[in-house]
Structure 1
Amino acid sequence: MRLAIPRETHPGEDRASVTPDTVKKLVRLGADLAIESGAGAGAGFSDEAYAAEGASVVTDRDALLGSADMVLRLRKPELDEIAKLKSGCIHVSYLDPFNEHALIREFAAKSITAVSMEMIPRSTRSQKMDALSSQANLAGYMAVMLAATRLPRIFPMMMTPAGTLKPSKVFIIGAGVAGLQAIATAKRLGARVTAFDTRPVVAEQVQSLGGKFLEIDLGDTGQTADGYARELTPEQVEIQRQAQKAVIADSDVVITTAQVFGRKPPVLVTADMVAGMAPGSVVVDMAAETGGNVEGSVPDEVVDVGGVTIVGTGNLANLVARDATQMYASNMFNLVEDTWDKETGAFVLDMENDILPGCVITHAGAVVHPTIKDIIEGAS
């Protein structure tokens, strides 16, 4: 079975879907692996390193895609690239299936089996394949590092002959994977950390990391079966905003991590809250790319609003591309290995498997994921 690894072409994307180590493992499984020249360059992996582990390095992208039985990549493909794949090919990457309807329809029309890495079910067994979590971990870390470099003071308390410097106050909104990593990183740097999440169940996790959990009574919230925070009602969002207002005004750094999968994220930090922060304060909006949690944030830009720095830098995991590639490649390998048949040297699309039905979006000329199918048919 030929596995093809195309180079990522999205502007600024340095991550890749395989490392030399995972290439070695895939070849051991019996895969015929071909990788486009330069695919790992942004993450510091040379063509020679891949070739040394058994990959064929090719320069003809169209030929690579056309020969593939299975494509492993990070970003979703351009529409015109789907036509270059042969019927029956398995394509694995991020796909944004809730929003990319034209892309999903094209996969179905060309009889491509499309597997969405965002849709990996959240279960104990699938943790090793959960790319959203692995990349969110790094993004949470980087959000704190960006804030630390922009803040005109240090995070930890410091006692010196010239006087005592008080620790910075960091407020983190959202205690999912990214938020918990941000809490842990800010605490390691010596900051005083307060956090809030709509799921009271995570309060213990926040406290175990040394953070203070902000109690806000929002009524019934809970979480989805996959462990994600449920979308709040407009009334609940307003209660949250008002309860956070004083904490935000008293914070040196605010980091927002709240995203609703497949939909625009809620605005949690309004312009008047930003105006209430002291000059020199920093806000990092981790949801800026998808609509933003912060009024005034600009995707992929850092702006000054009344003396407050608002960081809207996106794709934060890409800032540590080598580690991000290592983690994503491991997720990808674990997904492939899970149903790989070593005797035939092929990936088996086992729809009785407890993971694949949740992330296979199209197969055999149709949209087969029930939720995505309903959304696309409803939008037609």
Structure 2
Amino acid sequence: METDCTSNDAVAPAKLSALPPGTRVLHIGPHKTGTTSIQGALFGAKEKLPAYGVEFPAQSRHPMQAVLAACARTGMIGDARPTERHWTRLVEQVHASGRRTSVISSEFFADAPDDATIERIVEQLGGERVHVLVTVRPLAKIMPSQWQQYVQNGLRMGYEEWLEHMLRKAPYEKPNPSFWRRHRHDRLVERWVRAVGAERVTVVVVDDRDRGGLMRTFEALLGLPRNLLQPVPDTANRSLTLAETEMLRSLNKEFRSNGLPDELYSKLVRNGAVIHMKNICSPTPRDVKISTPGWAVEAAAEIGAEMADRIALTGVQVIGDPGLLSAVPEPAAKPAGEREGGRDGEREGERAGEARIAPEVAAHALYGALAAVAAGPGGTSARPVHQTPSKELVRVLGHRCLKRLRRR
């Protein structure tokens, strides 16, 4: 099924005009729409941008703490709560760019809880100088990436059950109420249109078939030379494979059942085991990817068609083909060795595409957690534990690590 919802007003990237000099370009994401790639490219070109009248005012690739504070978000599980000081510093950096065009990019702007918060963000960043940029992708491509990201933040629910909650069990707020606030893209656009007006909102439909298309669109809108923005590799941002995600989901269950503190999860799991595993281990063609069942793909396409229609009604500028939001992707072809018959001696589980974690991947994840412990004060100390029950040992270790974190 593919619904013809292409707007007559959609603009091809090649025909774009640059935004007026001095614009505050506010890229609000949402998540999983190329935000990390754009942020990395802009930060990588930070020293070159002023020559073309453009500034990237943030001091890091992604000013996440500042935006979380502005949107009254607590951040990732176990992390320190952002403060208003983070946001004030970013606002000061934006104002310091003077008459230059400045770009502020964070997918967490999409989490702004209400119109009053959005209006305050716009006013503090420059009022009428603010132009909102929204990047969107088909839901069927966002859902697997977003699910595994939620698992990295402690989710214990399997993918198909999660899809049931998101698509079939109204009011669709459990277990992740942030999902539809971010990814009901039509309503996201409408909220920001209420704050700045349709003439100051641009929606970019990301086409995954055109790998450089999003970079070229940003260059055109900012008045930059073609190919100035280049991808910056970021292994820490790669998606997990199905086996990696299931391993982490099992760990999440154990973590919660033993009542361990969130701060420990942040340090040892997300910023220890997971980060080290993603940095060291690259997925191979034999790794099983997260696959969305057909019923969910069809449901996502129907919602995509509704979103495209409602976005068109807002009167905002749309760059790219809105029809992509309702397109049903073709099933991925299996590698030759996994087709009918398989390889000689291949096990049935492998032919069925069973998710299996490689021993070296598990070892790197474990090492990442151990390294995080060793990095803390007194991390190399040890005492005999062979007579301690395993559950009690885990609980004691958790509280000891938490105590060290608090001292630090």
TM-score normalized by the length of structure 2: 0.27
Higher helix share: 2
1 or 2, which has the higher strand percentage?
1
Q: Which has the higher contact order (CA 8 A, sep 6+)?
A: 2
